[in-house]
Amino acid sequence: MQFHGTDITRIHMTTRDLMRRASATHRDHLYLYYVPRQSSDTFGAFEEKVNRIANLMSGTHGIRKGDRVCTMSENIPELLYTIMAITNIGAIWVPINNMLVGESLRYIVESSQADVVCASAGAASVVRDALAALPRSVALLPIEELPQRAAHCSAECQCPAAPDDISMILFTSGTTGFPKGVLHTHNSYIRTAVRGLEVLGTDSSHRIHLYLPFSHGWAYLLMLGGLYYKCALIMEDRFHAATYWDTIERYGITQDHWTGTVPLNLMKSPKIPFEDRACLGIIGTFGALYAAMQQRWPHFRFHSLYGTTEHPFMTEVPPDQIIPGSDGIPKYPDEILIVDDRGNPVPCGTVGEIVCRCRCGVVMQGYYRNPEATAASLRGGDLYTGDLGYLDEHGHLHFTGRKKDALRVRGEMVSVEYIEHLLNTHPLIAESAVVAYRPPEKEALKEDEIVAHLVLQKGARLTPEEFRSWAQANLPRFMSPRYVVFRDSLPKTATERVQRYKLRESGIAHAVKLF
C-alpha cells in the first residue's frame, strides 16, 4: 500500500516546542479568535500569556514536573493559556467535564491525585463543594484571573519535559465501569493532531471552528493542530445552531468538526442560501446520517472516522470509498484486526472485538494507577478496544457497539455501572438498574435515553419530582435519567444478577418521564 502524507513517527516534540516553532515563524499572525468577546491572540501574544502563567504556576504555586493539575471551565481563552502552561512546565493536565458534579467530580480529582484544580467562575462553586468533601487539601485557582496574576512574570519559560513524557490524563466516559485515566504523552497527541487535520489538507490559510469542550480530547487536538499547521482557531463557548451559518460566513471558517447531534441539528434547521456558497471540510463520525448530509451539502468534504480515548484516530473513510455504514480503513501505518474472545482473528463480515495494531506511537501509555486494566487493553503492540465491529470485503471497519453495557446519551458514552453507583448514593434508594430506551427519532444517531428502575429502602417514599431534583443536583445532565420506574424488586437470576433484558423489554410502558 502506497502512503502519501506526513510520517508522524518522525515527529518528536513537546507542547513547548510546538508553540515555540509556531510563534517563531508566525508571531504576528492570528491564532485564537474568541467570538463571544470578539477578542484575539496572535501566535506571539498567545505564547507570552502561556509563558507568564507557566512561570506563575511553577514559581508562586510550586507546581513541578509530573504534578497533576485539573481544569474545569467552559471554552474561554484563559482555559487554553492554562492548559498549555500546565504541559509546558512538565506537569500533567487533567481535564474535567463541565457537567460533572458531586461524587463524579470528586472521583476525577481523587483518581488523578491532583493537588490543584483551575476552575472558571462558572464552575468554581461546584468544584469548591466537591473539594470540601475530600480528605485532603486541594488548591483552587481561578482561571480568569491567572493572566492578570501572572502579568509580572517573565514572558520566557523553559520546559523540563521530553516528548515521550506524560502530558495528560484524559478520563474515559466509563463505558465498561468507572472512568479510567488514559495516559498520553506530548508526542502522542501532537502526532494525532497532525494525522487528524492532514486529511482536510490543513495549512496556514485555514480557519478552524472550535466549539467542542476541552474535557473531550478532540478540542485539544484542534488546539495542537492549529499550532502545528499555524492556522487560526475561531472559538465559541459552545455549539450554537441558531447562529452557526452566520459564524461560518462572518469569520471565514474553512474547517469544522461535527460530533454528537450537531449534524442532525443543522439538518433540522431551514436551509439558507449561504449553505450553497460555503466551502467546508468536515471531520466527524456520521454513520447513517452520511447520505442525508451529502444530499444537503454535496460540495462539502466529509471525512468520517473511528477512534477511542486510548487511540483517537484509528481509521478514516476515504472520500473516494464511501460505503454505507463504514467507519473507514486504518490510518497508515496502523492495522485493524477483528478477533473473538480468545484473541483469534475472525472471518470477513463476522462481528468481534476491534483491535488496533498501533505502529505510529499515538496509542495510550496505559491507565493511570490501574495496571490490571492496562494489561487487559494493551497486549504487546495491540490495543483491545472493548468495541465490537466487523471488516467488510473492502477492508472497511463497521462499528456495531460495546462489548459491555453502555449507553450513548447526548453525545456522551455512559457506563451503566457508573450511573447505578451514583444512583445508589441516594439515601432512600436500596438498589437500581439502568437500561436504555431509544426513541425512533434517535435511531439514526444511535442515541439513547436513560431509564432508571429504582427499588426504595423499606418504608421509604420518593416522588418522581423529588428524584428529579436530586438527580439535577447530583448527576451530570448526560447521566440523568429521563425516565424513572419505581419497583418493589428487580428481576434477577438465581445468582442475583439483574436480568436487564426483562427491563429493556418493558421499555417505558410503566415509566414516569422526568424532563
Instruction: Show the CA angle centred on residue 381, arms to residues 378 and 382, nearest 5°.
Output: 55
Cβ atoms of 481 and 468 within 8 Å: the answer is: no
H or E stretch at 398: strand 397-402
Q: Cell match 513547548: residue?
A: 16
Alpha carbon distance 128, 109 (integer Å): 12
User: For 448-497, how does the pLDDT look when each residue is reduced to its tens digit (9 = 90+)?
Assistant: 899 999 999 999 999 999 999 999 999 988 889 999 999 999 998 655 67
CA atoms within 13 A on the CB side of 225: 28
Instruction: Tell which residue, 82, 85, 88, 94, has the closest CA to residue 163.
Output: 88
Q: Cell match 440523568: residue?
A: 480
Asked whether residue 174 carries a pLDDT value surpassing 70, the answer given is no
The packing angle between helices 15-26 and 77-88, to 10°, is 120
Quote the pLDDT of residue 175: 47
Asked whether residue 3 carries a pLDDT value surpassing 70, the answer given is no
Q: If you average pLDDT over every residue of the chain, what do you get?
A: 91
Asked whether residue 120 carries a pLDDT value surpassing 90, the answer given is yes
Quote the pLDDT of residue 322: 75
Q: Which amino acid is at 288?
A: A
The alpha carbons of the chain give a radius of gyration, in whole angstroms, of: 23
Q: Which amino acid is at 135?
A: P
Average pLDDT on 167-195 reads 89
Asked whether residue 310 carries a pLDDT value surpassing 80, the answer given is yes
Q: Is the peptide bond before 95 cis (omega within 30 degrees of 0)?
A: no
Whole-number percent of the chain with pLDDT over 90:
72
β-sheet bridge partners, residue 159: none
Whole-number percent of the chain with pLDDT over 70:
96
Cβ atoms of 338 and 362 within 8 Å: the answer is: no
Average pLDDT on 317-334 reads 83
Taking CA atoms, 185 is separated from 37, 112, 192, in Å, by: 32, 16, 11
Taking CA atoms, 399 is separated from 182, 305, 320, 321, in Å, by: 22, 11, 20, 17
Quote the pLDDT of residue 465: 96
Alpha carbon distance 220, 206 (integer Å): 17
- The DSSP symbol for 348 reads T
Residue 483 grid coordinates: 425516565
Taking CA atoms, 116 is separated from 60, 137, 161, 305, 466, in Å, by: 13, 9, 19, 35, 34
Asked whether residue 405 carries a pLDDT value surpassing 70, the answer given is no
Residue 258 grid coordinates: 461535527
Domains and CATH numbers, the chain: 323-404 (2.30.38.10), 406-513 (3.30.300.30)
Residue 409, Cβ density class (10 Å: 0-12 exposed, 13-18 middle, ≥19 buried):
buried
Alpha carbon distance 113, 374 (integer Å): 18
The packing angle between helices 217-229 and 77-88, to 10°, is 80
Alpha carbon distance 118, 70 (integer Å): 6
3-class DSSP assignment, residue 9: helix
> 115 vs 414, which has greater pLDDT?
115
3-class DSSP assignment, residue 510: coil
Cβ atoms of 207 and 175 within 8 Å: the answer is: no
In this prediction, residue 240 has a pLDDT band, given cuts at 50, 70 and 90, of very high
Average pLDDT on 413-423 reads 81
Instruction: Show the CA angle centred on residue 499, arms to residues 497 and 502, nearest 5°.
Output: 170
Residue 223 grid coordinates: 488546539
Asked whether residue 162 carries a pLDDT value surpassing 50, the answer given is yes
Average pLDDT on 419-439 reads 90
